[in-house]
């Protein structure tokens, strides 16, 4: 089964503008031919790849599985009648390549999620020693606000129930939650504690709605958002509009949204997040 989200590849018509946005996000960049590849500081794992293309969209999504499960996934895909696809040009033909029911290119490789080596952010949680006396209350403006990992991807789908059946029955993901029968649903990887790593929202065409980047706490979310606004990007919506785990005060689900490189339409946002 799918065990982890490794990275997302996006087609970008303006690579310079794409680089400007993700540089401002605080990600670490390296060049791979014509592609730009991004990682989170402290995490030895590619999280995002920007690929030149005529329009913004999902080029492919790479997932990780275990060595003893890759052949089982290949057999499950063959049984479901899913043909293998060639890997994109300039990309090593590693693992399994195929298209999901919406036509999105999917890649599964043998890989574990890389750990985050930067120190965890100290949180005032129940049962955790946290001294508050004689201590500055407001956060220091110079704290590290770089993302810690890619948390999840939400894609538009022309049939979320068809796609959910494919990702759960063929690829082994688990259904965590849904919004109605047709609006949206949320899938997680086997053995993962995150509420979801893949979500789908109904739309007239497949595409990217958003990617979620995990931060250390709400202070980091706000400060990184302020940096993006000062850089010139538009504010999408703020904290409290999109929460998956009530009361969770940090991490992938407590964040501001700033968009670049998506197929998001305003009417789709209002339909899914009224």
Give me the CATH number covering residue 101. 3.10.180.10
In a domain, 167, yes or no: yes
Pairing relationship of beta strands 4-12 and 46-52 according to DSSP bridges: parallel
In a domain, 178, yes or no: yes
- Could you tell me the pLDDT band of residue 77, with boundaries at 50, 70 and 90? very high
- Residues 6 or more apart whose Cβ sits within 8 Å of residue 100: 106, 163, 166, 167
In a domain, 137, yes or no: no
Looking at the structure of the chain, the number of domains it has is 1
- Could you tell me the pLDDT band of residue 239, with boundaries at 50, 70 and 90? low
The 10 Å Cβ neighbour count of residue 158 is 15
The strands making up 198-202's β-sheet, listed across from edge to edge, are 174-179, 184-188, 198-202, 149-157, 207-214
In a domain, 130, yes or no: no
Question: CA neighbours within 13 Å on the CB side: how many for 236?
Answer: 21
In a domain, 189, yes or no: yes
In a domain, 129, yes or no: no
Asked if residue 254 lies in contact with residue 239, where contact means CB atoms within 8 angstroms, the answer is: yes
Q: Which of 145, 142, 184 is nearest to 161 (CA)?
A: 184
Query: Cα(144)–Cα(121) distance, rounded to whole angstroms?
Result: 10
In a domain, 208, yes or no: yes
In a domain, 202, yes or no: yes
Measured over the CA atoms of residue 215, residue 221, residue 227 and residue 230, the dihedral's sign is positive
Domain range for 195? 4-113+147-272
Q: What predicted TM-score, i.e. pTM, was given to this entire model?
A: 0.84
Query: Cα(76)–Cα(78) distance, rounded to whole angstroms?
Result: 5
Pairing relationship of beta strands 184-188 and 198-202 according to DSSP bridges: antiparallel
Q: What is the pLDDT of residues 176-224, one digit of tens each?
A: 999 999 999 999 998 777 889 999 999 999 999 999 999 988 888 888 9
């Amino acid at each position: 089964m799918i065990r982890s989200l490794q990275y997302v590849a996006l087609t970008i018509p303006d690579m310079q503008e794409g680089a400007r946005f993700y540089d401002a996000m605080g990600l670490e960049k390296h060049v791979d031919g014509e592609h730009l590849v991004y990682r989170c500081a402290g995490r030895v794992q590619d999280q995002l790849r920007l690929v030149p293309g005529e329009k913004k969209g999902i080029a492919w999504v790479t997932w990780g599985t275990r060595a003893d499960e890759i052949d089982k996934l290949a057999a499950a895909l063959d049984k479901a009648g899913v043909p293998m696809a060639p890997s994109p040009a300039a990309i090593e033909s590693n693992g399994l390549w195929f298209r999901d029911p919406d036509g999105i290119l999917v890649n599964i490789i043998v890989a574990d999620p890389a750990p985050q080596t930067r120190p965890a952010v100290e949180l005032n949680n129940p049962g955790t020693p946290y001294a508050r006396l004689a201590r500055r209350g407001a956060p220091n403006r110079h704290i590290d606000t770089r993302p810690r990992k890619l948390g999840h991807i939400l894609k538009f789908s022309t049939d979320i129930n068809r796609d959910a059946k494919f990702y759960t029955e063929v690829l082994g993901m688990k259904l965590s939650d849904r919004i109605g029968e047709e609006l949206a649903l949320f899938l997680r990887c086997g053995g993962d504690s995150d509420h979801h790593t893949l979500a789908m929202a109904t739309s007239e065409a497949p595409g990217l709605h958003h990617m979620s980047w995990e931060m250390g706490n709400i202070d980091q979310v706000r400060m990184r958002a302020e940096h993006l606004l000062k850089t010139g990007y538009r504010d999408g919506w703020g904290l409290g509009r999109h929460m998956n785990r009530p009361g969770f005060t940090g991490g992938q689900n407590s964040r501001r949204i700033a968009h670049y490189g998506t197929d998001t339409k305003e009417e789709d946002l209002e339909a899914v997040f009224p």
